[in-house]
Amino acid sequence: MLQSIKQQPFRAAVLMLVWGWLLFLVLAPNMLVVGASVMTRDPSTFISLPLNLDAYRQLFNPLYLDVFLHSLYMAAMTTLVCLLIGYPFAWALSHVGKRRQTLLIFLLIVPFWTNSLVRTYALKLILATNGLLNSALMSLGVIDEPARLLYTEGAVIIGLVYLLLPFMILPLYSVFEDLRQDVLLASHDLGAGRLATFKNVIVPLTLPGVLAGVMLVLLPAMGLFFVPDILGGSRNLLVGNVIKNQFLDARNWPFGAAASIVLTLTMALLIFAHRLSKRHLGEEGA
């Protein structure tokens, strides 16, 4: 070690900086969360001994279990809607001419670069009781009284879909781009109809893209606490809202940490499924 520092001081300095940063600001904090989740709540130092699993038990308290299941339901609906909109969209996008495709992809990334808080707020302008959508529907004579759109479960799902749709479309687009025309032609030549080709060829080949999209949408859809804060009212909370409340208001760190570990485990599970589907495809393709 010492010798290598003397021989290549620059290389050693680079590696030390990089390792230092990641160990201190990624590994250590994550270990800390795991540790905090099995400790006891303490009003002055936040966490203290003894070790126990109370925080995990508290997750199954009916009050919180309801919030978790409701959050999971809203996240699942968001993911489903994104998939239903995004799948045909990605297919259509991959069939546009190359030059125009560049522009369309650019238009898809713009939201990623713009303030998501501001865009959520823009939805509020549209969904509010005397907002644009209600005024438009009333002047068209579709409804007589303004409908209650804001502060509903639907508003939260709309907000999440609006923010996360590009994250579903981009991985789907990349698998559709890789989908080779000759495979589809072969399926056709072998006598498969459109439906059979879709079911037996297109769906399995685009599955890694679907899983990648699900991963990129489902998890943020449980964490983006500002969406229900702005659009959902107090009854449509996400896991993210629970974690935020436990850390910043209730000061119950073990419980907040346990909730976030549930999120992390969900992520790990999805990544594992994604890897598996890719490997599966790789073996069959070879």
Residues in region 27-46 near another protein by CB under 8 A: 27-30, 32-33, 36, 46
Q: Which tokens hold the place of 236?
A: 């449509």
Q: How far is the CB of 132 from another protein (least distance, A)?
A: 6
Q: Give the binding range for another protein (CB under 8 A) out of 63-71, 118-126, 171-179, 186-194.
A: 118-126
Please name the residue that has the structure tokens 């570990």. 261
Q: Give the binding range for another protein (CB under 8 A) out of 62-70, 115-123, 177-185, 190-198.
A: 115-123
Site residues for another protein, 78-97, by CB under 8 A, read: 85, 88-89, 91-93, 95-96
Per-residue binding string, another protein, 145-164, x by CB under 8 A, is -----------------x--
Alpha-carbon span 34 to 259, nearest angstrom:
11
Q: Which of 69, 73, 84, 119 binds another protein (CB under 8 A)?
A: 119
Q: Give the binding range for another protein (CB under 8 A) out of 9-17, 55-63, 173-181, 184-192.
A: 9-17
Alpha-carbon span 40 to 132, nearest angstrom:
49
Which residues contact residue 120 at a Cβ distance below 8 angstroms, ignoring those fewer than 6 apart?
159, 162, 163, 226, 227, 230, 231
213 binds another protein (CB under 8 A): no
Q: How far is the CB of 41 from another protein (least distance, A)?
A: 14
Alpha-carbon span 254 to 36, nearest angstrom:
5
Site residues for another protein, 178-197, by CB under 8 A, read: none
136 binds another protein (CB under 8 A): no
Strand, coil or helix: what is 192?
coil
Q: How far is the CB of 284 from another protein (least distance, A)?
A: 26
140 binds another protein (CB under 8 A): no
* Contact status, residue 176 vs residue 90, Cβ threshold 8 Å: yes
143 binds another protein (CB under 8 A): no
- 41 forms beta bridges with 47
Q: Give the binding range for another protein (CB under 8 A) out of 65-73, 124-132, 172-180, 193-201.
A: 124-132
- 47 forms beta bridges with 41
* Contact status, residue 206 vs residue 131, Cβ threshold 8 Å: no
141 binds another protein (CB under 8 A): no
50 binds another protein (CB under 8 A): no
75 binds another protein (CB under 8 A): no
Alpha-carbon span 75 to 235, nearest angstrom:
15
Please name the residue that has the structure tokens 């698998």. 175
CA angle, 32 then 212 then 286, to 5°: 120
Alpha-carbon span 272 to 42, nearest angstrom:
36
